[in-house]
Amino acid sequence: MSVKVELKIWRYDSSTGERALKPYEVDISDEMTLLDTLDIVKDRVDGTLAYRKSCRMMICGSCGMRVDGAAVLACKVRMTDIVKDGRVPVVSAMGNLPVVKDLVVDMDPFWHKMRQIEPYLEPRLDRATEGENIVPQERMDAIHKESLCINCGCCVSECNSMESDPDFLGPAALAKGFRFVGDVRDNAKIERLERYSEEHGLWDCTRCYFCNERCPKGVDPRDAIAKLGAEAMKVGIDRDMGAKHAKWFVTSAKTTGWLRETELVPKTQGVVSALKEVKFAMGLLKHGKVPPPVPPHVAKHVGEARALYDIVKMQDRQGAAGIVQVEKPLSRIEFEGEEAKDPYGEGSFPRPHLPGEGPEDDVEEEAES
């Protein structure tokens, strides 16, 4: 069925600096995507319109652009969905990357950051003669999402940290970084974690989650950054203020079950730096904005928080494994309605368990009997 659609496109010419929002009206078939619609505009209305495309099937990552300010893959979104209820969408180039012409951005800064994280395997050459390096399925599952990235830049377009700090490594590069940190065949895990933990690295993410929201391939770059942070802390790379901040949350949960905010600043920034904030802290205290540190407020069921801490330690889930573990049941919820699958079935990480309920407890019981 043929439908008439309206859209507006931000036109830009970097050679003249001219910029204009231009309206278009074209006839399309109702199954067409935004990319098909742009093809029709270019073909029948204005051949000077510039945009990138290649595969038309969400694989090459060329057609990233913004619709009403949010990044999409033009070949993924159906035009009839975005013009619903008479809406006239505004199509523009992606954010955080320099615009070359109309909807085409310069991807050089994107590739520069990709190169910075060294996106290739550093193999264990000392084992090269030992034979085939067989990777267990459960270890590949841990980096499955990050391996889905098609380098489209939609996450980078929406990244808040990158907007304020263009040198921030950014969601796409860091997600790629975890793809190698989490790969058991890689021999440079510690060096990578050291490098990614430097200034403009993983701890500069503000956790706005826009990258997760806009990624068209389900990579969830923010989750990958969380996994990098967890792995860095697990191996003792915790000098950054962000890492100290995260560590204090864990200590708070384990000791009182509440966030001990009054100690958060000295524990994170150090005593000298915290002294400069005393006046500000006293003001907060006076207005009842922070609980008095003494006596510390202890949560009624703090035992549960402590037990959880012990379980995570005992089952060695402090690093990325703990986060991967949580993704399993979450993905099950996402696909609710489909055939129910055991999220900890064959090929998964081991099922988490309470003390006394684990497989090793059965072994112990058998040995005792």
Query: Which listed residue (56, 78, 245, 306) binds ligand FES by CB under 6 A?
Result: 56
63 binds, among ligand FES, ligand SF4, none (CB under 5 to 8 A by kind): ligand FES
Q: Is 53 in the site for ligand FES (CB under 6 A)?
A: yes
207 binds, among ligand SF4, ligand FES, none (CB under 5 to 8 A by kind): ligand SF4
Query: Which listed residue (59, 241, 275, 299) binds ligand FES by CB under 6 A?
Result: 59
Binding-residue total with ligand FES (CB under 6 A): 12
What does the buried/exposed string (b/e) look like for 293-303 if buried means 16 or more CB atoms within 10 Å of the residue's CB?
eeeeeeeeeee
Stretch that binds ligand SF4, among 26-34, 211-219, 276-284, 343-351 (CB under 6 A): 211-219
CA distance 28 to 2: 5
Q: Which of 331, 359, 360 is nearest to 343 (CA)?
A: 331
Q: Which two tokens stand for residue 185?
A: 């065949």
> Binders of ligand FES among 144-163, rule CB under 6 A?
none
73 binds, among ligand SF4, ligand FES, none (CB under 5 to 8 A by kind): ligand FES
56 binds, among ligand FES, ligand SF4, none (CB under 5 to 8 A by kind): ligand FES
Q: Which of 117, 88, 116, 102 is nearest to 51 (CA)?
A: 102
Q: Is 62 in the site for ligand FES (CB under 6 A)?
A: yes
> Binders of ligand SF4 among 151-180, rule CB under 6 A?
151-155, 158-161, 171-172, 175
58 binds, among ligand FES, ligand SF4, none (CB under 5 to 8 A by kind): ligand FES
Q: Is 192 in the site for ligand SF4 (CB under 6 A)?
A: no
Q: Is 73 in the site for ligand FES (CB under 6 A)?
A: yes
Other CB atoms within 10 Å distance of the CB of residue 220:
22
Parallel, antiparallel or unpaired: strands 90-92 and 104-105: unpaired
Shortest Å distance, C-beta 145 to ligand FES: 18
Q: Is 54 in the site for ligand FES (CB under 6 A)?
A: yes
Q: Are 259 and 224 in contact (CB under 8 A)?
A: no
Q: Which two tokens stand for residue 154?
A: 């939609």
Q: Is 72 in the site for ligand FES (CB under 6 A)?
A: no
Q: Are 176 and 150 in contact (CB under 8 A)?
A: no
Minimum CB distance to ligand SF4 smaller for 36 or for 223: 223
CA distance 327 to 141: 11
Q: Is 218 in the site for ligand FES (CB under 6 A)?
A: no
Q: Are 172 and 161 in contact (CB under 8 A)?
A: no
Q: Are 178 and 148 in contact (CB under 8 A)?
A: no
147 binds, among ligand SF4, ligand FES, none (CB under 5 to 8 A by kind): none
Minimum CB distance to ligand SF4 smaller for 112 or for 297: 112
| Residue 106 falls in which region: left (phi positive, over 0), alpha (psi -120 to 50) or beta | beta
Residue tagged 């112990």 (tokens): 364
What does the buried/exposed string (b/e) look like for 62-90 if buried means 16 or more CB atoms within 10 Å of the residue's CB?
bbbbbbeeebbbbbbbebbebbeeeeebe
60 binds, among ligand FES, ligand SF4, none (CB under 5 to 8 A by kind): ligand FES
Cα-Cα end-to-end distance for the chain: 73
> Binders of ligand SF4 among 216-275, rule CB under 6 A?
217, 219, 221-222, 225
3-state class (DSSP) for residue 235: coil
211 binds, among ligand SF4, ligand FES, none (CB under 5 to 8 A by kind): ligand SF4
| Residues in touch with ligand SF4 (CB under 6 A) | 149-155, 158-161, 171-172, 175, 205-211, 215, 217, 219, 221-222, 225
| Residues in touch with ligand FES (CB under 6 A) | 53-56, 58-63, 73, 75
